[in-house]
Amino acid sequence: MHISHMLIDGTSVSSRKVDTIFNPASGEPVAGVAVGGREEARLALEAAKRAFPVWSSMPAEERSEVLREAARLVRQRRDEIARLLTLEQGKPLKSSRSEVLSAADVLDYYAEEGKRNTGQWLAGPHSRSIVLRQPIGVAALITPWNYPVDLLSWKVAPCLAAGCTFVSKPPSLAPLAATEFVRAVSDAGLPAGAANVVHGPGGTVGAELVESPISRKIAFTGETATGRAVMAAAAARIKRISLELGGQSPFIVCADADLPAAAASAAHRAFSNMGQICVSVNRIYVADEVAEAFTDQLVSLAESLKIGDGMQPGVELGPMFSSQQREKTKEHVADALERGAELLAGGSEPEGEEFSRGFFFRPTVLGRADHSMRVMMEETFGPVAPIMKFRSVQEAVALANDTEYGLAAYVYTGSLKTAMQVAEGLESGGIGVNVNSVIDRQAPFGGWKQSGLGRELGRWGLEAYLETKHIRVGVWKE
């Protein structure tokens, strides 16, 4: 069986402890992974510290060339990285290929953005002020299993473009594709130690990365509860942190919305990747007068999606990532039904021998939902779309804001006035108006409230890895 090794100081590193990664579609072993601990994390941090002066002193144009080459290598190795991603995570192979190509595009974007790190010259009567933006140092990058390549690229690319070096900890149960992504980046011409990967649990490897005096920047994507723990640990040394945490995204359908477009968008964002997306549609609010028509269309779309092993052609939805994720989804559905919701589609595992060994679950639509139900107030992270009616746009906004989360929200309407009023009233870091995605490489991404701290992507993503320095120079007249 293939063993995925760690990458420390430019060298593949094995371990006495090897965990097995299993395919969530079949339960079959995919590969082994060398598991490290605090010692390996410490060695990787030290390697990144040694590489930092070399990489950070390199001209931005030369770093840009390396990032361009990294993007080329990722595209060249797309099929193998995507295959590993589908085998370990479950998503359809087509989606995995798209994720890998998106990660390459992020590398290309920051290859250019890194060259735009311009300073300022400020003139005073007796002095001149120079404002510089310089790389912060060694970064610790901790990422989740739902988009292990794409979300890692959001950190790796701006980190390197800024002149920083890093140690990454990929998800313990899905580390294969992320590790190969970093290997491709490292092979592009980085100095040894600039890019490192350490496998292992958050309680040991993650803790060392966050607590060590070497790391000066922590970038974490994951659950809100874990994010709070990361923030508390980083506070001991006043570290710069970026946290992209949980969501509970509302989807508002106004009476004047294009219903076919709204239903198609809601279905895609609620069910793709089996709902295991931080910006997934978690709850749908529909104007009373169009609720029946919208619901019928959403149910039809949910029932038409093809479920199966992600390696098979034509599959639109793979398995859920784990039995724990599926059980949580089933618990949320059961709780909603007990509290008066109506099951309109899905709600159970698909029947058939081909689904018996994987963590499959049918796309689920619930009617008569309300805020007494867990599915409306907690992040399900599963393929469930609960629907609640509203009578006024003001009521819809109030319902949408009735949560501790604020990562993404969506509104469908034919009125520009309504769109702007709703978008400005929603307490969320990203608002999609007549689109079901708030992600754009050139725009900031991040959450309000308990959904996070800081921003990724765009120039904001680069700034997260830079420190500001003011140099004041006295001048005198002859």
* DSSP letter for each residue of 287-331: EGGGHHHHHHHHHHHHHH--BS-TTSTT-SB---S-HHHHHHHHH
Tell me the per-residue pLDDT of 337-362, one tens digit each, with 9 for 90 and over.
Answer: 999 999 999 999 999 999 999 999 99
Confidence tier at 279 by pLDDT (50, 70, 90) = very high
Of 159, 164, 254, 278, the catalytic one is 278
d(CA 57, CA 257): 53
Contacts of 130 (CB under 8 A, 6+ apart): 119, 120, 121, 122, 470, 471, 472, 473
Of 88, 244, 378, 379, the catalytic one is 244
pLDDT for the residue numbered 229: 96
- Which of helix, strand or coil describes residue 335? helix
Tell me the per-residue pLDDT of 5-29, one tens digit each, with 9 for 90 and over.
Answer: 999 999 999 999 999 999 999 999 9
pLDDT for the residue numbered 119: 87
Tokens encoding 38: 């605090």
Q: pLDDT at residue 478 above 60?
A: no
Tell me the average pLDDT of the chain: 97
Tokens encoding 64: 């840009």
Is 244 annotated as catalytic? yes
Which residues are bridge partners to 202 per DSSP? none
Q: What is the DSSP letter of 204?
A: I
Is 278 annotated as catalytic? yes
Tell me the per-residue pLDDT of 186-206, one tens digit each, with 9 for 90 and over.
Answer: 999 999 999 999 999 999 999
Q: What is the mean pLDDT of residues 443-472?
A: 97
Phi and psi based region of residue 58 (left: phi greater than 0; alpha: psi -120 to 50; beta: remaining): beta
As a whole-number percent, the residues of the chain with pLDDT over 90 amount to 97
pLDDT for the residue numbered 18: 97
d(CA 355, CA 136): 48
Tell me the per-residue pLDDT of 105-139, one tens digit each, with 9 for 90 and over.
Answer: 999 999 999 999 888 999 988 899 999 999 999 99
Contacts of 317 (CB under 8 A, 6+ apart): 92, 271, 272, 274, 305, 306, 307, 308, 363, 383
pLDDT for the residue numbered 352: 94
d(CA 198, CA 8): 7
Confidence tier at 477 by pLDDT (50, 70, 90) = low
Confidence tier at 2 by pLDDT (50, 70, 90) = confident
pLDDT for the residue numbered 476: 73
Tell me the per-residue pLDDT of 361-415, one tens digit each, with 9 for 90 and over.
Answer: 999 999 999 999 999 999 999 999 999 999 999 999 999 999 999 999 999 999 9
Confidence tier at 161 by pLDDT (50, 70, 90) = very high
pLDDT for the residue numbered 1: 78
Contacts of 344 (CB under 8 A, 6+ apart): 295, 299, 365, 366, 367
pLDDT for the residue numbered 118: 83
Phi, psi of 255 (to 5 degrees): -65, -25
Let me know how long the chain is: 478
Q: pLDDT at residue 237 above 90?
A: yes
pLDDT for the residue numbered 259: 98
Strands, DSSP E only, in 136-235?
A: 138-142, 165-169, 195-197, 215-221
